[in-house]
Amino acid sequence: METKVEKIPANKHIALVAHDGKKDALKAWCLAHKNTLERHTLSATGTTGNVIEQATGLSVNKLLSGPMGGDQQLGAKIAEHQIHMLVFFWDPLASQPHDPDVKALLRLAAVWNIPVACNEATADMLLHSSLMSTEFSRALPDYDKYLATRLNT
């Protein structure tokens, strides 16, 4: 598939997600980085968003809870180029009833080439990157060209 280049703006829209066993870790991470996060737009699955908002006072656009469709809502926002970065503290030691939704969310982040952090160390590296406060380019699949070839066959 051909690709095209699109800019990720300096003001990022960051999606925040955490499984139940990792909500405290994400809350602590958000508290530690509150000054940086408040300069960006935040969205989260419902329960995670409530935990972060109550603990930090940050403004969070809260979607449905993950198992109720919040992961899929975030995936749709990624596909619509509304989310620029995903911080998803998933619990590798716990079984999740909505595991297919989790995998779909991570797949969409890979398809649309957005930065993803699945643990504190990676989230720290992303947040401290010089690219967090600047616009930068990313390669994306050119689905407009792909669809045009599909319609002409």
**Residues comprising the binding site?**
19, 23, 45-48, 65-66, 98
- List the binding residues for substrate: 19, 23, 45-48, 65-66, 98
Closest among 83, 84, 85, 43 to 66, alpha carbons compared: 43
- The rounded distance, in Å, linking the Cα atoms of 30 and 59 is 12
Helix (H, G, I), strand (E, B) or coil at 111: helix
**Which helix (H) or strand (E) segment is 48 a member of?**
helix 46-56
* Residues ≥6 apart with Cβ < 8 Å to 58: 30, 34, 37, 38, 42, 52
Of the candidates 24, 71, 124, 144, the residue annotated as catalytic is: 71
Q: Is 144 a catalytic residue?
A: no
For the chain, what is the radius of gyration of the CA atoms?
16
For residue 136, report the phi and psi dihedrals to the nearest 5 degrees. Answer: -150, 160
Could you give the CA distance from residue 62 to residue 64 in angstroms, rounded to a whole number? 7
Catalytic annotation, residues: 71
